[in-house]
Structure 1
């Protein structure tokens, strides 16, 4: 997924001379191709993320199209006020890319683990929030974000979990993406971000379960959800994010107004990690590993 991001950024900049990249002292190797192609459009703002957002806002007002890159624990969480007041308030065309969302920077501890970014950013008026599952959705998300000309947050999670789409798939990030059809009246799993790869593997073990990837958190395809609710027996949401105010909360908010159904929200509970460790360790600690998720979904599916 990270390579798809780099490739998309270079391609978009090749076609649009207004595109700039601002980074808070991150991602040097990731941006080698961009710096080689467009050295005059690469701005390292240093470890000063609040100032970096202000720079991007000013550049956007001057007609540029800034991409602002940082770890998602810092962009958007550390700079939420600046995003709200400097960018979103006037709907400036700045694209914020938060890399390493969820438990990706596992060994660096709570300061670098980002499990609240969706909850924070989706409450800001006018923000588009995108959460791609694989490189195909990431490429489509980059194109959509640039073409929209609006304030966008693009959330990148674990980059090496594999694809949920084939190269032949045409991805529209504004729509739900069906990864696995299911039986009428059965369980429907709605997943956002790379945890969609786990959702597909869970469906291999839960007979008749359908899987959808949801790359757009905001705006949200309420009409698609309403259609699913008409035939589903129950819903499961999956996210590498807190269950407080995140994707699962969004779905339950919508379902309560559309067609009430039982909803199982799978995500991080309202607590910090007890220990540092590998990415796989933290998934197990928080119950997001394949075995635990499969058991929870199977038990939920078996309910009358």
Structure 2
């Protein structure tokens, strides 16, 4: 199976052909995939070199002229390094862009901590007006990329990852999707966490919601699920643990509830290792998730199932 990032250049290159507003801004990373697009649209495919602050600043300038810039590099270089430009050049000037990241929390362990960004969504959450998509499959990434570019002049972040679920689901760029129903709690699986969550909750009497758009947070969808399953909520996110616990709490503010946030821990793992080893170290493998989810919702095994 190809990766989410493999879909980026083909999808955006087609959008460049279809829509004269679309532009692409790069900082060396990923430039080879856009060679043909640059040949066809040299005025709308720009590589600023290894200058991530300029990457965002140039995109904001393009947006001020009426273009719809798609901006791409690794998450740590797209959100963390140029955060002042994201805050001011886009946010303060009230212009939009589509930020598309790669490498996610720890997709390239050999790159070291400079290439890891488990705090990217939490950081963007300090700003107003951002839509955040976290696809869990390359097909979903393609759908959400198109949603993002078509979203007027909004500020949109699309978080791509090499981690992916085995199968794609239909996503609409807004709502959580109910994957299974239960009566003893709700587990929200974000993006590529779905397969591990479904394995972890096998036999448990819980509802599973699938989230590929986490901002705005689908408060109404969570409330509908808790009406039948109760207000014990577990969030399983592929980035910093607890990023969405506040949003879930706000959704249930008038109801007694408990929320458990599972995700990437704050402790830096200083051995490169493999992606799978980082997943296990942060307790995001199916076995660890089973223990933590079961312990929180208090069991509730479905009759006839282990």
Same fold (TM over 0.5): yes
Partner of 1:174: 174
Q: Which one of the candidate residues 205, 211, 217 is aligned to 2:214? A: 217
> Relative to structure 1, is the Cα distance of residues 258 and 174 closer, same or farther in structure 2, using a 3 angstrom cutoff?
farther
Q: Distance in 2 between matches of 1:212 and 1:136?
A: 19
Residues 48-85 of structure 1 show CA distances to partners (whole Å, capped at 9, x for unaligned) of 00011111111111121111101001111111110111
Partner of 1:113: 116
Q: Give unpaired runs (5+ residues) of structure 1.
A: none
Partner of 2:159: 155
Higher mean C-alpha deviation, range 51-60 or range 131-140 = 131-140
Higher mean C-alpha deviation, range 282-291 or range 116-125 = 282-291
Paired residues of 1:100 and 1:156 also in contact (CA < 8 A):
yes
Paired residues of 2:63 and 2:69 also in contact (CA < 8 A):
yes
Q: Distance in 1 between matches of 2:141 and 2:245?
A: 21
Paired residues of 2:185 and 2:226 also in contact (CA < 8 A):
no
Partner of 1:103: 106
Q: Which one of the candidate residues 63, 66, 69 is aligned to 1:66? A: 69
Q: Distance in 1 between matches of 2:288 and 2:234?
A: 14
Higher mean C-alpha deviation, range 211-220 or range 17-26 = 211-220
Q: Which one of the candidate residues 14, 19, 30 is aligned to 2:17? A: 14
Instruction: Tell me how large the CA RMSD over aligned residues is.
Output: 2.1
Q: Give unpaired runs (5+ residues) of structure 2.
A: 301-306
Partner of 2:284: 288
- Residue 270 of structure 1 aligns to a residue in which SS? coil
Deviation at 1:219? 1.5
Partner of 1:78: 81
> Relative to structure 1, is the Cα distance of residues 268 and 253 closer, same or farther in structure 2, using a 3 angstrom cutoff?
farther
Q: Distance in 2 between matches of 1:231 and 1:287?
A: 28
Deviation at 1:264? 2.3
> Relative to structure 1, is the Cα distance of residues 85 and 249 closer, same or farther in structure 2, using a 3 angstrom cutoff?
same
Paired residues of 2:70 and 2:149 also in contact (CA < 8 A):
no
Deviation at 1:110? 1.4
- Residue 192 of structure 2 aligns to a residue in which SS? coil
Partner of 1:196: 194
TM-score (norm 1): 0.89
- Residue 236 of structure 1 aligns to a residue in which SS? strand
Deviation at 1:25? 1.1
2:253 is aligned with 1:231: no
> Relative to structure 1, is the Cα distance of residues 211 and 37 closer, same or farther in structure 2, using a 3 angstrom cutoff?
farther
> Relative to structure 1, is the Cα distance of residues 206 and 79 closer, same or farther in structure 2, using a 3 angstrom cutoff?
farther
Q: Distance in 1 between matches of 2:86 and 2:161?
A: 20
Paired residues of 2:187 and 2:235 also in contact (CA < 8 A):
yes
Deviation at 1:258? 4.1
Paired residues of 2:136 and 2:165 also in contact (CA < 8 A):
no
Q: Distance in 1 between matches of 2:205 and 2:144?
A: 30
Paired residues of 2:165 and 2:195 also in contact (CA < 8 A):
yes
Residues 203-252 of structure 1 show CA distances to partners (whole Å, capped at 9, x for unaligned) of 3x2333322221222222211111112122322111121125x1344323
> Relative to structure 1, is the Cα distance of residues 67 and 201 closer, same or farther in structure 2, using a 3 angstrom cutoff?
same
| Runs of 4 or more above 4 Å deviation | none
